[in-house]
Amino acid sequence: MSQKFDVVVIGAGPGGYVAAIKAAQLGLTTACIEKYTDKEGKLALGGTCLNVGCIPSKALLDSSWKFHEAQDGFAIHGINHAGVTMDVAAMVGRKANIVKGLTSGVATLFKANGVTSLQGHGKLLAGKKVELTKPDGSVEVIEAEHVILASGSRPIDIPPAPVDNNVIVDSTGALEFQAVPKRLGVIGAGVIGLELGSVWSRLGAQVTVLEALDTFLMAADTAVSKEALKTLTKQGLDIKLGARVTGSKVNGEEVVVTYTDANGEQTITFDKLIVAVGRRPVTTDLLAADSGVTIDERGFIFVDDQCATSVPGVYAIGDVVRGMMLAHKASEEGIMVAERIKGHKAQMNYDLIPSVIYTHPEIAWVGKTEQALKAEGVEVNVGTFPFAASGRAMAANDTGGFVKVIADAKTDRVLGVHVIGPGAAELVQQGAIGMEFGTSAEDIGMMVFSHPTLSEALHEAALAVNGQAIHIANRKKR
């Protein structure tokens, strides 16, 4: 007799495992299928985010930044030292322990909430049945009232630089270097490329980033992207824009990369090359031909605003559907879908999903950019406040960047918050909370912010929107 559940989730990443837990909390019998295993061959929940994405990369970013500060940033605080070294193997080992703790934590949460964890490959059949292929090759068909597809994404491969998991690696391989490469190439100046490039640059690698586009961080506000390019370049990243990679040749333990730019064809040699040109949805062998679920030419599953597919009772969330590939977007979609399955009128505000790049300084934003709003014909008022004028940032010797608040010129409603600098992710989240409730720049300006804090920069930027900043000179209105 086959197993039956109210909800079956395929994929235990940040979308899938959250959806499963929420469904179980709502009283629905729930199973979650996952096939990913760790180096020990054990089931590892948490998907790309916990295992080879968000969490391990942040562990390396934090470790490498502490090393950088120990080398170059302690003297100004009166801390004298000499001979600081980095044990790369220990750093990578620390990262692995963090990952193991969090993935095992998901398993504990499944048990605590009554979610049945099933190991193997899940495939949607017709009639909301799910085929589970277990590690031993045996097959079981599970029946479900509702199915949530949360199979996630994987790195995009490009023909000019095929990954060999030795000299040429993807983002997963870049988390496992056991030594600092002398010459490191990164294809792609997006979130992943900049974060991983920053890690190894801080540890001593000579990093060159090859970006095909002529515009740096196109999705970011222009003022932020310009500041980011200037700052990251000063930190040592050699970012080449308009550099389209056309080929690569591995010679022993190095790779010669060919690319074209405004000056024609160029070649450059690296000891390691990271391919970080984006990610694509995982839908391979996910859907039976008669499942009824449709996908587009890029492999994304068609869904409506509530993540429902073309088949009643079947949903898809996270990286496998339209929109930004972000763990927090996937998680909130998972909660929304579980709530809707239960019959609640849940919805999600896709206009207020924060974006963060965890370089140093951090780069984050929520809402629309100034250039996008002007292109739409929206008249805006803008307020900015530099961290160089923040007492808290000065005390921490971390004064690069600024906070930018954009408000509708007619209503004063905040339409975007953009930050580059210390604590950017946290400050942008404060902006997102306010924007969710329709805050105006005046509202933020009237709030009491504790002193001294980085948050005061958001306060002052909001005040500056209407020419009322206290701790910087206000721009004269025309």
Contact (Cβ atoms closer than 8 angstroms) between residue 52 and residue 172 = yes
Q: What is the pLDDT of residues 159-178, one digit of tens each?
A: 999 999 999 999 999 999 99
Whether residue 208 is contained in a domain is answered as: yes
Written as six digits, the tokens of 200 are: 């190894």
Same structural domain for residues 54 and 144?
A: yes
Q: Catalytic annotation on 360?
A: no
Q: What is the pLDDT of residues 109-138, one digit of tens each?
A: 999 999 999 999 999 999 999 999 999 999
Same structural domain for residues 44 and 61?
A: yes
| Annotated catalytic residue within 360, 451, 459, 471 | 451
Backbone angles phi, psi at 234, to 5 degrees: -65, -30
Same structural domain for residues 127 and 10?
A: yes
Same structural domain for residues 178 and 266?
A: yes
β-strands 264-270, 30-34: how paired? unpaired
Helices (H), 114-204: 191-202
Backbone angles phi, psi at 92, to 5 degrees: -65, -35
CATH assignment of the domain containing 93: 3.50.50.60
Residue that is last in its domain, among 228, 261, 277 = 277
Whether residue 379 is contained in a domain is answered as: yes
Same structural domain for residues 232 and 261?
A: yes
Residue that is last in its domain, among 304, 326, 350 = 350
How many domains in the chain?
3
Task: Please tell me the pTM assigned to this model.
Answer: 0.96
How many Cα atoms are found within 13 Å in the side-chain-facing hemisphere of 178? 1
CATH assignment of the domain containing 374: 3.30.390.30
Query: What pLDDT is attached to residue 83?
Result: 87
- Residue numbers of the domain that contains 413: 361-465
Query: What pLDDT is attached to residue 378?
Result: 98
Same structural domain for residues 21 and 137?
A: yes
Residue whose C-alpha is closest to residue 149's, from 22, 325, 28, 330: 330
Query: What pLDDT is attached to residue 82?
Result: 85
Whether residue 385 is contained in a domain is answered as: yes
Whether residue 476 is contained in a domain is answered as: no
- Distance, CA of 87 to CA of 67 (rounded, Å): 10
Same structural domain for residues 188 and 301?
A: no
Q: What is the pLDDT of residues 196-232, one digit of tens each?
A: 999 999 999 999 999 999 999 999 999 999 999 999 9
Same structural domain for residues 150 and 289?
A: yes
Question: One-letter amino acid identity for 258?
Answer: T
Angle at which helix 16-25 crosses helix 88-113, to 10 degrees, equals 30
pLDDT values of the chain reduced to their tens digit, one per residue, 478 residues: 689 999 999 999 999 999 999 999 999 999 999 999 999 999 999 999 999 999 999 999 999 999 999 998 999 999 998 889 999 999 999 999 999 999 999 999 999 999 999 999 999 999 999 999 999 999 999 999 999 999 999 999 999 999 999 999 999 999 999 999 999 999 999 999 999 999 999 999 999 999 999 999 999 999 999 999 999 999 999 999 999 999 999 999 999 999 999 999 999 999 999 999 999 999 989 999 999 999 999 999 999 999 999 999 999 999 999 999 999 999 999 999 999 999 999 999 999 999 999 999 999 999 999 999 999 999 999 999 999 999 999 999 999 999 999 999 999 999 999 999 999 999 999 999 999 999 999 999 999 999 999 999 999 999 999 999 999 999 876 5
Same structural domain for residues 124 and 180?
A: no
- Which residues fall within 8 angstroms of residue 371, CB to CB, at 6 or more apart? 221, 222
Whether residue 477 is contained in a domain is answered as: no
Same structural domain for residues 304 and 272?
A: no
